[in-house]
Structure 1
Amino acid sequence: MILIKKFPAPSDLETLKKEAEEQGLSDKDGYAKLRNPLKTQVRNLLMQEQGHLCAYCMRRIPDIRILEEDVDLSDVYIEHWQARSAVGDTTENKGLDYRNMLAVCSGNEKAPEANGKHKRRFLTCDKKRENAPLKINPLDEETLETIYYLTDGTMKSTDVVIDEDINIRLNLNCDTDAVTLLKNRKAVLDMIQEDLANQEGDFQQNCIEQLHIWENEADPKTPYIGIAIWWLKKQIHLLNAD
């Protein structure tokens, strides 16, 4: 997971939010008024600011696992970090608040095992979370700084609640042949370690230069980039402490 820096909200979305608030609509009813072409514009803007990566698992979006014939699924979803409420609120409409919106993948809906009574075991991201509150927030650097990784690609946190967000509410360590999140993260870690092993010169300076490149990578970003940024920061910190 990486820090997402929000773009300015589309003016038409802000107008729609204001109208929903003036009408006293609930988050659910207000969000129902977000239709195309504005909805597509919002979705594309979210993907652009995220480097076309899922806000939670860092998979590439649009999700290529979703095919044209999957009419009930979308290759990218608009997620609300603070879940929408069905209760009317004339002062806040979180469903149309651009600061509350993220772009996410299909949540592994296409996994062969994701069916029947065991389906939820294989779901990830917002499909697993549904409306459960989260402490981890891709817009809040402080919560992301608690994240670390194991050499096999497992994502963890020093914060107990955030660790539960990762493992239970978002299921980001789901490890099956259909999901492969750990395998994909490990591949990125192996790649950056191999690249640095083959570079000449000062190791610490090479890490600093690589970190600058990865943190400033343009859209589209490398999937699962978060583990590379974390590892580089860790190496720099350890070398500075020596």
Structure 2
Amino acid sequence: MKHIRKQPEPVEFVQWKSDFPSWNEGRVAKYDDLLNPLKNQVKDSLITEQGKICSYCGVRIHRRNTHIEHLKPQHNCTSEETVDYQNIVASCEGENRLQHCGHNKHEWYDANLFVSPLREDCEQFFTYTLNGEMEPCYDPVKGPMAAETIRQLGLDTAKMNALRKAALDGVLMMDDFSVELIDFFLQECQVPNEEGELLEFAAYLQGVLGVLRSKMV
């Protein structure tokens, strides 16, 4: 899981929420009222601020394979919270819309256990193996939170493990594999390229390559 630094929400989204009551007998806007093209504009904004990777698993995303995900599920929210830009991220659709990430999480929410990608320290909750496995850290407080978040989001499935391992193998098998190459990829995990993309599975590669680098110097 990669930390998401929220950017300002689209001006049009702010204006729509402000103007909505005047069009609807004073009722505030809720998420079900959000329609295209504005909805796609909000989704595009989320995708961009995440470096075009899923908020949870880190797979490459674009408008067609993504949905707007509520960190705090809609059924637990006030109307205002359902359109709060701080409560929404872009999640991949998962495998058959069920196996991982937002659709697997569905309506689960526990403020005491959920590790939000908006937490500045969220990356510290998880560790990774060379085989692509995602595991909770050993911290007595963070570990149980990470374990439940992994379970509820389906982030340690065989499919996800294989995808992460393949991404790592692509780096390890390069002929010029070196500390300098690791540093290049670590930079790509932190800063989007000219197309605004972070590396796919950036948090995983950052975690594993960082450990490998420490053993090489």
TM-score of the pair, normalised by structure 1 = 0.73
| Deviation of 1:38 (Å) | 0.8
1:79 corresponds to which of 66, 69, 90: 69
Q: Deviations over 1:185-217 (max 9, x none)?
A: 00122222334x7346xx3x5544442233213
> Which residue of the other structure, out of 99, 104, 107, is the alignment partner of 2:86?
99
Would you say the 8 A contact 1:137–1:144 is kept in 2? no
Letter in 1 for 2:10: P
Residue 109 (structure 1) aligned to one of 83, 88, 96: 96
Tell me the equivalent position of 2:106: 130
Deviation at 1:184, TM superposition (A): 0.9
2:149 aligns with one of 153, 165, 174: 165
Q: Determine if contact 2:167/2:201 at 8 Å carries over to the other structure.
A: yes
Counterpart CA distance in 2 for 1:58 and 1:199 is 23
Q: Report Cα offsets for 1:82-122 as digits up to 9, x if no partner.
A: 22236656xxx111111211111112126xxxxxxxxxxx6
SS at match of 1:59: coil
Counterpart secondary structure, 1:104: strand
Measured at CA, do residues 183 and 21 of structure 1 come closer, stay the same or move farther in structure 2, by a change above 3 Å?
farther
1:24 deviates by 5.8
1:133 deviation in Å? 1.3
Measure, in 1, the Cα distance between the counterparts of 2:17 and 2:146: 30
Distance in 2 separating the partners of 1:174 and 1:193? 22
**Contact 2:91 2:102 (8 Å CA) reproduced:** yes
Any stretches of 5+ residues in structure 1 without a counterpart? 64-73, 111-121
Q: Partners of 1:54 and 1:38 in 2: how far apart?
A: 20
Q: Which amino acid aligns with 2:197?
A: P
> Matched residues in 2 for 1:60 and 1:88: separation?
31
- In 2, the alpha carbon distance for the partners of 1:12 and 1:133 equals 29
Which residue, 141, 151, 167 being the options, matches 1:188?
167
Rounded Cα–Cα distance in structure 1 between residues aligned with 2:185 and 2:38 = 38
Give the distance between the partners of 2:78 and 2:105, measured in 1 at CA: 23
Looking at structure 1, the residues matched to 77 and 116 of structure 2 have their Cα atoms a distance apart, in angstroms, of 24
Question: CA shift at 1:17, angstroms?
Answer: 3.4
Report what 1:69 is aligned to.
Answer: none
Q: What residue identity is the alignment partner of 1:96?
A: V
Change (3 A) 1:151 1:33: same
What is the distance in 1 between the residues matched to 2:77 and 2:203?
36
**Cross-structure match for 2:55:** 55
Deviation at 1:50, TM superposition (A): 1.6
Could you tell me whether the CA contact under 8 Å between 2:129 and 2:208 is conserved in 1?
no
Deviation at 1:127, TM superposition (A): 1.0
Contact 2:9 2:45 in 1 (8 A): no
Alignment size in residue pairs: 204
> For structure 2, which runs of at least 5 residues remain unmatched after alignment?
138-142
CA contact (8 A) 1:80 1:102 kept: yes
Mapped contact 2:123–2:203 kept (Cα < 8 A): no
Q: Could you tell me the TM-score, scaled by structure 2's length?
A: 0.80
Aligned to 1:15: 15
CA-atom RMSD in angstroms: 2.7
Identity of counterpart residues, as a percentage? 25
